């Protein structure tokens, strides 16, 4: 079997929280993560945006940066980036082949009881490839939770914890505090932890965890003054931190929720400067104003057919942020093409989006995790009040249906859906 096919086949093992397998894998690889500094990013929403902003700013300052994020939108290599360049397929295939050989040996001699999960394997590949590419620093986005996530094998110099929401309750718990405790599992001795969370009970948990483990907590909102002037769909901000006053600039990413992410990134980058990773104000402004992060409030014009606003809002908090943006930017509302995975809070997502939807067109991307279009439509009708609801079996058919009567449609509810629609757009061009 081809090395990449074998890698993707590991998805059949699903999620298996724990660090024993990844520890063994990286140990036999010579602990590649010890060759460079790492920053870990945990939380519920905004992790990818934070990583993307930090990546752009660090590179603007002249640093060689590795970036590992998940999930991907269209293609697996998107998860692995160095200096803004996605891993070439030949290099990904080589890394995957070496990993498979190593796993086979570990299984044969009994040191490994079962193959790694897909995420464990991709994490090991990322850490190995970053060493090969001689990065100065690697930015790692936590996949699920924190304490038992494969990325938590590293000893980071710093980290960010974005706001906490109710998610993955089967694995993380049923309360914000329980989920926050899992996220706080990334906190280790000696590191600086920046958080954009403001819920008092959750912040108190982070403070106590840092105190117990000998880490330093930086609350991004404390001592920081942010003035926001809305210009178009991207906020223009003027930020003053305890360190310095930054000139006014427009964020590269759309939506007012990105202001909090940007504040967290600024405080992170200032902390890294204190650790010998110099980043001046110009680099920070350049990074945050030029950052690109596909599939997050991304407006794509498709020839003369119409426009598609893509946003991977897959939980109620993210849907609420999208709703805020839609009400401000499209006050008359938009038709919404919606797909949701089976483990997500459909009622919460629909409740947040219904006030700004002229209608819902329900669909399902090509994955067994997705709720079937007709089933989703039934659940949406129960929550959407008088808003019309229809269903189309494929995402592109759903977009075509939503375009009838509107030049712009919103596609949301799932990263997988956004990825499929982006691929369909590419084919249509």
pLDDT at 168: 60
pLDDT at 6: 92
Q: Mean of the pLDDT values across residues 209-234?
A: 93
Residues 409, 406: Cα–Cα separation, whole Å: 7
Residues 137, 160: Cα–Cα separation, whole Å: 15
* All residues at 6 or more sequence positions from 249 whose CB lies less than 8 Å from its CB, including other chains: 236, 237, 285, 288, 289
Residue 418 confidence (pLDDT) above 80: yes
Averaged confidence pLDDT in the chain: 94
How does pLDDT run across 38-92, given as a tens digit for each residue? 999 999 999 999 999 999 999 999 999 999 999 999 999 999 999 999 999 999 9
Q: Mean of the pLDDT values across residues 325-332?
A: 95
Query: What Å distances lie between residue 144 and 203, 206, 299, 351, CA to CA?
Result: 20, 18, 28, 25
Handedness of CA 17, 18, 19, 22 (dihedral sign): negative
Percentage of the residues of the chain whose pLDDT score is greater than 90: 89
How does pLDDT run across 189-208, given as a tens digit for each residue? 999 999 999 999 999 999 99
Structure tokens belonging to residue 19:
């660090």
pLDDT at 196: 97
- DSSP-based three-state secondary structure for 245: strand
Q: Mean of the pLDDT values across residues 316-338?
A: 95
* All residues at 6 or more sequence positions from 37 whose CB lies less than 8 Å from its CB, including other chains: 136, 137, 138, 156, 157, 275, 277
Q: Give the range among 60-69, 152-161, 170-179, 268-277 with minimum mean pLDDT.
A: 170-179
All domains of the chain in start order, with CATH: 3-290 (3.40.1190.10), 298-428 (3.90.190.20)
Handedness of CA 23, 29, 31, 35 (dihedral sign): negative
pLDDT at 213: 97
pLDDT at 207: 97
DSSP secondary structure, 270-282, as one string: HHHHHTT----HH
- Residue written as token pair 């140990």: 27
pLDDT at 272: 98
Q: Mean of the pLDDT values across residues 135-142?
A: 98
H helices within 152-256, ranges in order? 169-172, 176-183, 200-213
Q: Is it true that the peptide bond before 307 is cis, omega within 30 degrees of 0?
A: no
Handedness of CA 191, 192, 197, 201 (dihedral sign): positive
* All residues at 6 or more sequence positions from 369 whose CB lies less than 8 Å from its CB, including other chains: 341, 342, 343, 416
Residues 141, 127: Cα–Cα separation, whole Å: 12
What are the b/e assignments for 224-250, b being 16+ CB within 10 Å?
bebeeeeeebbbebebebebeebeebe
Residue 262 confidence (pLDDT) above 70: yes
Run of H or E including 53: helix 47-60
How does pLDDT run across 164-186, given as a tens digit for each residue? 977 665 656 678 888 999 999 99
Asked if 162 and 194 count as a contact pair (C-beta separation under 8 A), the reply is: no
CB atoms inside a 10 Å sphere around CB 255: 22
Q: Mean of the pLDDT values across residues 209-226?
A: 97
Pick from 68, 85, 73, 182: nearest CA to 119:
68
Residue 303 confidence (pLDDT) above 70: yes
Structure tokens belonging to residue 158:
């710093």
CB atoms inside a 10 Å sphere around CB 311: 24
H helices within 188-300, ranges in order? 200-213, 257-274, 281-290
Structure tokens belonging to residue 149:
């996530």
Pick from 242, 199, 198: nearest CA to 219:
198
Q: What is the model's pTM?
A: 0.95
CB atoms inside a 10 Å sphere around CB 195: 28
pLDDT band at 144 (very low <50, low <70, confident <90, very high): confident
């Amino acid at each position: 079997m081809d090395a990449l096919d074998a890698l993707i086949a590991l998805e059949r093992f699903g999620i298996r929280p724990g660090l024993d397998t990844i520890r063994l894998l990286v140990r036999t690889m010579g602990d590649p993560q010890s060759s460079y500094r790492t920053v870990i990013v945990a939380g519920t929403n905004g992790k990818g945006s934070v990583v993307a902003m930090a990546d752009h700013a660090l590179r603007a300052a002249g640093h060689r940066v590795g970036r590992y994020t998940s999930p991907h939108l269209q293609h697996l290599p998107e998860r692995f980036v160095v200096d803004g360049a996605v891993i070439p397929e030949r290099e990904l295939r080589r890394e995957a082949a070496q990993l498979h050989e190593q796993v086979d040996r570990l299984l044969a001699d009994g040191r490994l009881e079962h193959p790694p999960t897909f995420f464990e394997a991709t994490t090991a590949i990322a850490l190995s490839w970053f060493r090969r590419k001689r990065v100065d620093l690697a930015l790692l986005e936590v996949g699920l939770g924190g304490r038992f996530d494969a990325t938590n094998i590293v000893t980071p110099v710093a980290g960010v914890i974005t706001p906490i929401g109710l998610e993955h309750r089967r694995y993380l718990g049923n309360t914000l505090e329980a989920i926050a405790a899992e996220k706080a599992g990334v906190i280790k001795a000696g590191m600086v932890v920046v958080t954009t969370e403001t819920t008092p009970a959750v912040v108190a948990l982070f403070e106590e965890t840092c105190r117990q483990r000998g880490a330093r907590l930086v609350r991004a909102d404390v001592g920081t003054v942010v003035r926001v002037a809305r210009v178009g769909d991207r906020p223009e901000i003027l930020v003053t931190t305890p360190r310095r006053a930054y000139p006014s600039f427009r964020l590269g990413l759309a939506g007012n929720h990105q202001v909090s992410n940007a504040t967290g990134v600024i405080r992170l980058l200032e902390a890294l400067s204190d650790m010998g990773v110099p980043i001046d104000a110009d680099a920070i402004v350049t990074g945050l104003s030029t950052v690109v992060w596909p599939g997050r409030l991304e407006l794509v014009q498709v020839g003369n057919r119409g426009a598609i606003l893509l946003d991977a809002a897959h939980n109620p908090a993210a849907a609420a942020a999208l709703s805020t943006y839609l009400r401000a930017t499209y006050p008359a509302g938009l038709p919404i093409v919606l797909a949701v995975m089976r483990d997500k809070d459909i009622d919460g997502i629909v409740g947040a989006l219904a006030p700004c939807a002229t209608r819902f067109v329900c669909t399902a991307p090509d994955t067994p995790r997705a709720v079937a279009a007709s089933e989703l439509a039934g659940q949406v009708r129960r929550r959407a009040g008088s808003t019309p609801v229809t269903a189309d079996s494929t995402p592109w058919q759903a977009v075509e249906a939503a375009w009838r009567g509107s030049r712009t449609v919103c596609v949301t509810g799932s990263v997988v859906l956004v990825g499929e629609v982006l691929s369909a757009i590419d084919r249509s061009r």
